Chain A
Amino acid sequence: MENMGLLFALCGAALSAAMAGVGSAIGVGIAGRAASGVVTEDPNQFSKVLVLQLLPGTQGIYGLLIAFITLTQIGIMGGSSDVSLTKGLLYLVACLPMAFGGLFSAIAQGKCSVSAIGLVAKKPDQFGKAMIFPAMVETYAILSLLISILSIFGVAGLSI
């Protein structure tokens, strides 16, 4: 029971990596289907649609980053792993913005990328504009990342 704090903190890290990763996998997957359709018709568009396909992949990286920071803070990656129950729960909560923000923003960005790929299919010269639309969704993943980072470091500084 004395390691419950560590367990909760680890759950937070795992959720962050897993949920953001699942979101990215779905987002990149659906964008990949659309990209394959475009490349079937016009292989010259490969590089453009690849960029659009990869945009929803960043949430997975953000989730990994949050998980890594959490693991470092709770001592799983080395050092002392003495985490109180309260602190463990706080780490778990700190990881949630990235977990949920990553999951849903990656799926939304994937759908937006699909539409942007459709735009590139019709008007390849509008690639720059097409990239901006899914990139806007990234804002909310970055906000989630920011809050999770600030929370984790804030929790680390608490003496509880």
Chain B
Amino acid sequence: MSNAFVDKNYIYAVSRIRYAELRLLDRSVFDRLCDAADLSECLSILAEKGFGGDSRDPEDMIAEERRRLWELMEELVPDSSVFDVFRLQNDYQNLKAAIKESAMDQPMPDIYVSDCVVDPALVRKAVRERRYKELPGDLAETAERCHEIFLRTRDGQLCDILVDHDALVALQKAAEATKDPTLIKYAGLTAASADIKIAVRAASTGKDETFLDRALAECSELDIDSLKKAAISGTEAVYAYLANTDFADAVPKLRESSAAFECWCDDLIIRSIKPQLWNSFGLGPLAAYILAKETELRSVRILLTARQNGFSADRVRERVRETYV
């Protein structure tokens, strides 16, 4: 009955999101962008759709869209920490940067990502001064362990693997805490796709079991033990294992290229969130909108970069992600 008095179902927010969905770029717009003669025509089409405000610089336009997205979410959801799931991985990215920077003689403030949960300055300071406890939750434990290993071994790759592993674990933990099926599914798929990429690369470069134990993160979508055994046996064994899972369709994409697989993963996430278009209650439609918008921004960036570099319409179209609307 308490739901009747507190908007735990985000009814008002979902209503607003239904309007925001109308402003997402659909397949027909992406087709027009792919067929555009040059970059300036692409920018005109985007401007016509109200994308990116008044700016005509691709990166500024994307940044403006992302700013609008998070401004809307902060307006609609009083406690926007439920969406930390989408920014959490950037904290771990910043941690990797801070560990690398600590080994350099000169400061490198430009290597940090700003769209994150923990202030990058705090991550820098905590790592530089080795006061890890200043960082929140699991990030502190990861920072201490990984930085100490890095200082001992000076092995940047090992450090990256450990941080990436912990980032995937933290992502799934944060998603579980929201109890929202859409966010849990997103985190599971993200971890699974990362594990598949690691397994394929490890198999092709002949990495051992110790490496795989460190790198592969547990996830609900895959049996990690089977994936690990397959990766030790070789790339074909990984493909054979995946052929018997929900990721069977990914095998031809993995054989094609890493970029094709990444595109397939994004499409899989978009397909998994599409039912939220008809859901009127809960966090799901809001989370789905964020994912849809982020995928749209990724597609726009790929498309504009490809046009800038003179790629053909067909090659660009291959890399454009499936749209939510």
Contacts and interface: CB of A to CB of B under 8 A. Distances in A.
A binds B: yes
Interface of A: 25-26, 29-30, 33-38, 40-42, 111, 114-115, 117-118, 121-122
B18 A114 contact: no
B16 interface: yes
A117 B15 contact: yes
| Chain B interface, DSSP helix/strand/loop, else mixed | helix
A34 B14 contact: yes
A109 to B, nearest CB: 13
B280 A37 contact: no
- The A contact surface, by secondary structure, is helix
24 contacts: A25-B4, A29-B4, A33-B7, A34-B12, A34-B14, A36-B12, A37-B13, A37-B14, A37-B18, A38-B15, A38-B19, A41-B15, A41-B16, A111-B280, A111-B281, A114-B11, A114-B15, A115-B280, A117-B15, A118-B14, A118-B18, A121-B15, A122-B18, A122-B22
Contact of B11 (A30, A42, A121): A30
B9 interface: yes
Contacts of B19: 37-38, 41-42, 121
Contacts of B14: 34, 37, 118
B281 A40 contact: no
Interface string B1-36: 000100101011111101101100000000000000
Contact of A30 (B9, B13, B16, B278): B9
A4 to B, nearest CB: 30
Contacts of A35: 15
Contacts of B4: 25-26, 29-30
Contacts of A25: 4
A121 B18 contact: yes
A118 B280 CA distance: 7
A114 B280 contact: yes
Given A29-B4, A33-B11, A40-B16, 5 more contacts: A34-B14, A36-B12, A37-B14, A37-B15, A121-B19
Given A33-B11, A33-B12, A37-B13, A114 B281 contact: yes
Contacts of A115: 278, 280
A36 B15 contact: yes
Contacts of B9: 30
A36 B10 CA distance: 12
Interface in B26-82: none
A34 B280 contact: yes
Given A26-B4, A29-B4, A30-B4, A118 B22 contact: no
B139 to A, nearest CB: 35
Contact of A37 (B16, B21, B278, B281): B16
Contacts of B15: 33-38, 40-41, 114, 117-118, 121
A91 B7 CA distance: 37
A33 B11 CA distance: 6
Nearest to B1: A26
A121 B22 CA distance: 9
Contacts of A34: 11-12, 14-15, 280
A37 B18 CA distance: 9
